Amino acid sequence: MSTTTAKAATIESSKDMPAIKISRDFSATPAQLVKAHTDPDVVLQWLGPDGCTSTMDYWDPRTGGSWRYVHQIEGEDYAFHGCFHTVEEDRLVQTFTYEGFPDSVALETMTFEDLGDGRSRLHTQSLFDSYEARDGMLASGMDIGVNEGYAKLDGLLSAGTV
């Protein structure tokens, strides 16, 4: 994992809309990154912070499908659900609710930019339905989970698992 921990994601709070924008480079093709975000066996191996184990309640990664998973972290359950608005080769759009705040919904758009030479840049926009919800997510320590999850994904990619 020594090559992966140095690569922190860029996590920015938008000034003019209640969004969080994340970008992160990977040693992977766009097709590998789509697989990493849609194949449930792969998703379960990297999503979430270190020490988290995850189970999927349902996961139907197609345009019009839906999903729900539960992270177990230090004996506590954290559940999330949403639906897949778009599942395409270079773009995923999905809704996202953390069930601890069941009235808040985010719209997540992920695009996979081909940098050539087997590298890609993942761009994520998480658009929240209020500034309060966006700022609550930023204050939750989500950056730790994002970076630890991506570092695990780096490990899967370098091991040839994806």
Q: Which chain residues interact with a second copy by CB under 8 A? A: 16-18, 58, 63-66, 81-86, 91, 93, 95, 97, 103, 105, 107, 109, 125, 127, 129, 131
Q: How far is the CB of 45 from a second copy (least distance, A)?
A: 24
Identity of the residue, 10 or 131, whose beta carbon is nearer to a second copy in the bound complex:
131
In the DSSP assignment, the letter for residue 49 is S
β-strand partners of 72: 53, 77
Total residues belonging to the chain? 162
Q: How far is the CB of 75 from a second copy (least distance, A)?
A: 28
In the DSSP assignment, the letter for residue 46 is H
Identity of the residue, 31 or 83, whose beta carbon is nearer to a second copy in the bound complex:
83
Identity of the residue, 16 or 76, whose beta carbon is nearer to a second copy in the bound complex:
16
Whole-angstrom Cα distance, residue 158 to residue 1? 9
Identity of the residue, 111 or 147, whose beta carbon is nearer to a second copy in the bound complex:
111
Half-sphere exposure of 139 (CA within 13 A, CB side): 6
Smallest CA-to-CA distance from 64 within 44, 80, 40, 88 is with 88
Q: How far is the CB of 40 from a second copy (least distance, A)?
A: 16
Q: How far is the CB of 61 from a second copy (least distance, A)?
A: 12
Residue 24 and residue 154 in contact, taking contact as beta carbons nearer than 8 Å: no
